[in-house]
A and B are shown apart, each in its own frame.
Chain A
Amino acid sequence: MTAPLLQVANLTKHFPVRTGVFSRVSAQVHAVDDISFDIAQGETLGLVGESGCGKSTTGKLILKLIEPTAGSVMWRGERIDRLRPGEMRKLRRELQAVFQDPYSSLNPRMRAVDIVSEPIRNFESVSRDEIHERVAALLDKVGLRRDQMVKYPYEFSGGQRQRLGIARALAPNPRLIVCDEPVSALDVSVQAQVINLLMDLQQELGISYLFVAHDLAVVKHISHRIAVMYLGKIVELTDKRSLFEDPQHPYTEALLSAVPVPDPRVERKRVILSGDVPSPVNPPPGCRFHTRCPYAFDRCRIEEPKMIAVRPGHWVACHLREQAARGV
């Protein structure tokens, strides 16, 4: 395998909670805590977890829309997490994004052609005719008609808007697109179309995706590898097959058992979690999942589990697996 396109190491983001008259920092929201992963050229890494676990924050950290508290982001071997905005801007053509809400992520006062061509015009000075040509080609690619380029966003449907968002992300020929829940605002039938479009584009152009989602079925369809996040931590990271066939972390097990199976005769073991996700302002000590884990024991409450490889390429952060691996 070639060197990874993107390497994230020990990435951490704490948001300060300010209270009182003088805006004293009274607490920290541990949105993302010490996570590491990498993405290879042409690969899709799925990032799943329930709401508020820090998946979208991770996407924004990589895009440098927010500054990390600690850790590093390497883009093709170069650290980008400490770049100043002007230096980062030059890299942005290689690193694009598709956002969750196809309604609010397109400026309502710009026509499709201006929206899609914005990243092109940011980096190149091109003639009007050439922009016209390139936008037309992009619209073709995402399955919109050329004559729709003079329309405003309100004249498009949700699925069409998301296609516009994808066309915009493709415009500067990026190598990686951070997809922040790109289909969760769409109908199921439209979801499938958009997912398939993203996969076709990957086949054709060799783009990598960081695909953030909370829907396991969607992630299973599009990803090569999947990282499961819980309360700001990655608890399991492996290729799609081992995750679905042999989940190692109790949280992954619970997540998988919550995926509906369209066959009433299939009997399954249901793992039902009790309780709520603890607050990220005050995450539990030890393993963050111990408050809801059916297998938790003393060590889980004190010591934070490290990422270990249960087999090559299958990483999990759980004391149970560590003991099993050591043969205890």
Chain B
Amino acid sequence: MSTLALPSARSASPTWLRLKNALRRHPTAIAGAAVLGVMILIAVFAPWLGTIDPQAVAPIRRLKPPSAEYWFGSDMLGRDVYSRVVYGARVSLAVGLAVALFSTLVGLAIGLVTGYIRWLDAIVMRIMDGLMSIPSVLLAIALMALTKASIGNVILAITLAEVPRVVRLVRSLVLTLREQPYVEAAVAAGTTLPRILTRHILPNTVAPLLVQATYVCASAMITEAILSFIGAGTPPNIPSWGNIMAEARSLFQIAGYLIFFPGICLSLTVLAINLLGDGMRDALDPRLARRM
């Protein structure tokens, strides 16, 4: 954050102090963080969690209900649903986290520039308004229709659909921050524009952006599942929660358990991320925190 690091005792930055203290008082946020942490661990250690190859086909043993052998049952091709759900966590989390990261970075860059350069603002914001007027799922579907199905393209499409929301947030933050007396003081002190942006504006956008990133992550995971569900997302051979549910949909009346487990995992993860985001918002947004 600062360019100076002194060897002497340093006090912790106020953001992290606030975050730590407030999360401690927020049991639901801690629960959210815990569930999310477990999901990430499951995704990372998927090969060591008693799984078999999620794509291995065994037609003889298809549509088995949950048992000791198939914890979550087997699907119409005899693939192990447990393994597929565990490996599916990788896809869902990777898409969610990547979209959150990329759309935050891109949105931050565009938002900083448009918030500071007035003539650019009018042009860029009209484009963003245009993008926002299209429902994000629809936009992602349209973008996926243009390219071939791959995880990279899914991430790209959902990122494009999420960016305008981040731009709006960053721009509004920059518009408030640039009127702050300490920014005026920095101008009077002879600070150049790039340094004002990086030293005074950027650090003060971190907290709200962090919160926004959790919501983007949750909504990206849902969008990914929707895209996969309607067959416009992750290629069908890659197990993602959306794909598993899409395949299970037609067999819903014969083998309802197929759709149950990926659905539960998706809802649980999205809920966990949202709870964490709410906790962080309460911790980092002083206006909301005071009301509590």
Contact = CB atoms under 8 A, between A and B. Distances in A.
Interface of A: 63, 65, 89-90, 92-93, 95-97, 99-101, 104-111, 113-114, 117-119, 121-123, 128, 131-132, 147, 149-152, 154-155, 165, 168, 172
B190 A111 contact: no
Given A92-B189, A110-B2, A132-B6, A122 B182 contact: no
B188 interface: yes
Given A89-B192, A118-B189, A122-B189, A151 B11 contact: yes
B188 A96 contact: yes
B11 A150 contact: yes
Contacts of A123: 190
Interface in B188-217: 188-192, 195, 199-200, 203-204
8 A-B pairs with the lowest CB-CB distances in the bound complex, closest first: A92-B190, A119-B189, A105-B181, A97-B188, A122-B190, A104-B181, A114-B2, A107-B182
Interface centre among B8, B182, B190 (most CB of A within 10 A): B190
A111 B10 contact: yes
B10 A150 contact: yes
Contacts of A131: 4
A147 B11 CA distance: 11
Interface centre among B181, B188, B191 (most CB of A within 10 A): B188
Contacts of A108: 14, 204
B254 interface: no
A165 to B, nearest CB: 8
Interface in B173-193: 180-182, 184-192
Given A109-B203, A150-B6, A150-B8, A122 B195 contact: yes
B172 interface: no
Contacts of B182: 104-107
B13 interface: yes
Interface of B: 1-4, 6, 8-11, 13-15, 180-182, 184-192, 195, 199-200, 203-204
Given A104-B180, A119-B190, A152-B13, A111 B185 contact: no
Contacts of A109: 1, 13-15, 203-204
B4 A114 contact: yes
A92 B10 CA distance: 31
A133 to B, nearest CB: 12
Contacts of A107: 182, 186, 199-200, 203-204
Given A109-B13, A117-B4, A93 B188 contact: no
B14 A113 contact: no
B11 A155 contact: yes
Contacts of B195: 122
Nearest to B15: A109
Contacts of B4: 111, 113-114, 117, 128, 131
A149 to B, nearest CB: 8
A83 to B, nearest CB: 13
Interface centre among B1, B2, B8, B11 (most CB of A within 10 A): B2
Nearest to A150: B10
A152 B15 CA distance: 11
Nearest to A123: B190
Given A99-B184, A128-B4, A172 B11 contact: no
A150 B11 CA distance: 7
A109 B180 CA distance: 13
15 contacts: A65-B184, A92-B189, A95-B188, A104-B180, A104-B181, A107-B186, A107-B203, A109-B13, A109-B204, A113-B4, A114-B3, A118-B189, A122-B190, A122-B192, A152-B13
B287 to A, nearest CB: 15
Contacts of A106: 182, 185
Contacts of B13: 109, 152
A154 B11 CA distance: 11
Given A65-B184, A101-B181, 12 more contacts: A65-B188, A93-B190, A97-B189, A107-B200, A108-B14, A109-B13, A110-B2, A113-B4, A118-B189, A118-B199, A154-B14, A172-B190
A165 B189 CA distance: 11
B181 A89 contact: no
B178 to A, nearest CB: 12
Contacts of A114: 2-4
Contacts of B190: 89-90, 92-93, 119, 122-123, 172
A65 B3 CA distance: 26
B3 A121 contact: yes
A128 B3 CA distance: 9
Contact of B185 (A89, A97, A152, A155): A97
A118 B6 contact: no
Nearest to A151: B11
A251 B129 CA distance: 53
Contacts of A113: 4, 6
Contacts of A96: 188-189
